[in-house]
Structure formats: C-alpha cells, structure tokens
Amino acid sequence: MKKRIMVVGPTQAGKSTLANLLNDTDRPLRKTQDVIYGKNTIDTPGSYIENASMYKYLIATAQTASHVLILLDSSRPVDVYPPGFAKTFTCPVVGVITKKDLGLENVNLCTQKLSGIGVSEPYFLVSLNDNTGAAALKTHLRLVDQKK
C-alpha cells in the first residue's frame, strides 16, 4: 500500500489547494465532509480538527500516512489544535503556514502556535496564490526528483 501525506487544518486554510499542488493536479475545489485520497495525499475535512470528537478519525487515518502536514492559515491564525496535538501521530509531522502573502504579520504567531502543538521545525511558509515555498516543501517530503 502506498503511503500518502495527510493534510490537516481548519476550514479555508488551504488544505485542498495544497493537496492539489502536491498531487500535481487541479481537482475542483469544494467544501466536503469526505476524506479525499489523491495520488500523494489524504485531504481531510476541516471539521475533523474543528471538532474534538473527530480527532479519533484523524488519528486512525494517519496510520496509513507517511507524514502529517499541520496547516495554519497566516491570514486567520485560529486556535483549533490542542497543546501537544502533533505528538498523537506516529509518523513525522510537518508544520505548514499557508497564505503567507495574506498574513505576513502573523507568521511569528503561527510559528509559536506550531511549537505549542508539538510540531518541530523546519516550518514551511507557502503562498497558495503563486506557490512560493511549495518547492521546498515538496523537496522535504521527497515529492521532487532530487537529481534535477
């Protein structure tokens, strides 16, 4: 079974846009309550992190993941993750700060939040508008042919 990268984050944080980027596709974006399995990703609904009773589904789904990406939207850095949340996963957890171009003033706050939920550096700042930072994230996740 192929291991995929699980993408977790609040509603409107850029999960599906990032999943499309990591899958090299342009699947139509729409709000859904379904987990969507892509070529390289597992795109989870925002409600799974926004409702503590759904955490068990995130934890169970992560059992088949190579990595978990925990997203924070720098334009709207809401508190949805409990302290130490990243420690519940057995695979590597990577912090991704999305929409860096829309909330540059909140990047330090986002890094503090990622640290508080147990995500270790490096953190990746990504603009889903122009894909700035996406190449570094893909390289870290080994989704890029490193011989280029």
CATH of the domain at 70: 3.40.50.300
User: Is position 148 within any domain?
Assistant: no
Picking from 56, 31, 55, 59, the residue whose alpha carbon sits closest to that of residue 45 is 31
Domain count for the chain, please give it: 1
User: Is position 23 within any domain?
Assistant: yes
pLDDT tens per residue, range 40-58: 999 999 999 999 999 999 9
Whole-number percent of the chain with pLDDT over 90: 78
User: What number is the average pLDDT over the span 95-112?
Assistant: 93
Neighbour-count burial for 22-44, b at 16+ CB within 10 Å, e otherwise: bbeeeeeeeeeeeebebebbbbb
User: Is position 132 within any domain?
Assistant: yes
User: Is position 91 within any domain?
Assistant: yes
User: Is position 147 within any domain?
Assistant: no
What is the pTM assigned to this prediction? Answer: 0.91
User: Is position 39 within any domain?
Assistant: yes
User: Is position 146 within any domain?
Assistant: no
Domain with 105 in it? 4-140
Q: Is 123 helix (H, G, I), strand (E, B) or coil?
A: strand
User: Is position 120 within any domain?
Assistant: yes
108, two tokens: 């330090």
pLDDT at 31 over 90: no
